[in-house]
């Protein structure tokens, strides 16, 4: 089974801090994704990556950046955390290969609170 | 752009009731369609998928049929259990990027 591991289940940070959310997958997947999940809004894509050192903006990239130095690891960075970034963050990975019909595999999420 | 519209709920049912969650989509081309489920405190898990018109996905007693003529992918289960209490998301992907477009999710509670 694919395992996607997010480094923290719960995280509390202060406004203005630089925050790192880490995600690791163990199935050699090409694609990795970061979403945020908010009540009434569903899941919204922040950034995704289809290869090492490659990244593309999703629907809501403002205030975030990402890093993918190794294939198995995809980090989400909040450059200067703000209270409106309090949310549940979900990482996912996908097989890739241009099929477009493969499912994504999700981690358990990080519930981030910015005070 | 592509979009997914689904029932949002919340919905409360009694055990053994019939469940339908409506999902319709707007997309150019021929997307793949998915239902994901999120149990309390967990991430999303794939429930079922269909990749072309008239395909039926099924898993754990749930079924959904890809209807191109009505651009729909409704989720059904004949007899729900307490353990089916979760949030259900309809989603589509198109092209080679595997990017998913999600509906807003529907919270289902099943009471004994």
- pLDDT, residue B29, reads 81
* Spatial CB neighbours of A72, under 8 Å, sequence gap ≥ 6: A24, A25, A26, A28
d(CA B103, CA A63) in angstroms, rounded, equals: 24
Residue-wise pLDDT for A4-63, tens only, equals 999 999 999 999 999 999 999 998 999 999 999 998 888 999 999 998 988 999 999 999
d(CA A50, CA B98) in angstroms, rounded, equals: 9
Write out chain A residues lying below 8 Å of B100, CB-based.
33, 43, 45, 104
- pLDDT, residue A2, reads 67
pLDDT of residue B8 exceeding 90:
no
Q: A interface mutation test: which of B44, B49, B88, B102 has the most A CBs within 10 A?
A: B44
Question: Which long-range contacts (C-beta less than 8 Å, at least 24 apart) are formed by B50-59?
Answer: B51/A101, B57/B33
Residue-wise pLDDT for B43-93, tens only, equals 999 999 999 899 999 999 999 999 999 999 999 999 999 999 999 999 999
Q: Under an 8 A CB cutoff, do B43 and A50 touch? A: no
Question: Which of A106, A110, A105 shows the shortest CA–CA distance to A88?
Answer: A110
Is the omega angle on the peptide bond into residue B47 within 30 degrees of 0, that is, cis? no
Residue-wise pLDDT for A91-106, tens only, equals 999 988 766 677 889 9
Angle at alpha carbon of residue B11, lines to B33 and A86, rounded to 5°: 75
Q: Under an 8 A CB cutoff, do A108 and B42 touch? A: yes
- pLDDT, residue A40, reads 85
Residue-wise pLDDT for A69-95, tens only, equals 999 999 999 999 999 999 999 999 998
Q: Tokens standing for A91?
A: 């990482």
- pLDDT, residue B9, reads 86
């Amino acid at each position: 089974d694919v395992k996607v591991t997010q480094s923290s289940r719960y995280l509390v940070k202060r406004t203005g801090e630089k925050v790192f959310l880490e995600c690791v997958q163990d199935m050699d997947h090409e694609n990795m994704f970061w979403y945020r999940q908010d009540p009434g809004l569903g899941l919204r894509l922040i950034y995704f990556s289809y290869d090492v050192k490659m990244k593309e903006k999703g629907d809501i990239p403002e205030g975030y950046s990402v890093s993918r130095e190794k294939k198995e690891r995809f980090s989400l960075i909040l450059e200067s955390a703000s209270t409106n970034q309090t949310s549940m963050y979900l990482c996912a990975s996908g097989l890739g290969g241009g099929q477009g019909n493969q499912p994504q595999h999700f981690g358990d999420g990080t519930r981030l609170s910015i005070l | 752009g592509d979009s997914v519209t689904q029932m949002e709920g919340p919905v409360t049912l009694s055990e053994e009731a019939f469940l339908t969650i409506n999902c319709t989509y707007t997309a150019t081309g021929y997307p793949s369609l998915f239902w994901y489920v999120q149990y309390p405190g967990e991430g999303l898990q794939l429930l079922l998928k269909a990749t072309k018109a008239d395909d039926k996905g099924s898993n754990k007693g749930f079924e959904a049929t890809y209807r191109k003529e009505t651009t729909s992918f409704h989720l059904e289960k004949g007899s729900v259990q307490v353990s089916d209490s979760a949030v259900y998301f309809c989603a589509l992907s198109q092209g080679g990027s595997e990017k998913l477009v999600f509906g807003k999710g529907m919270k289902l509670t099943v009471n004994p």
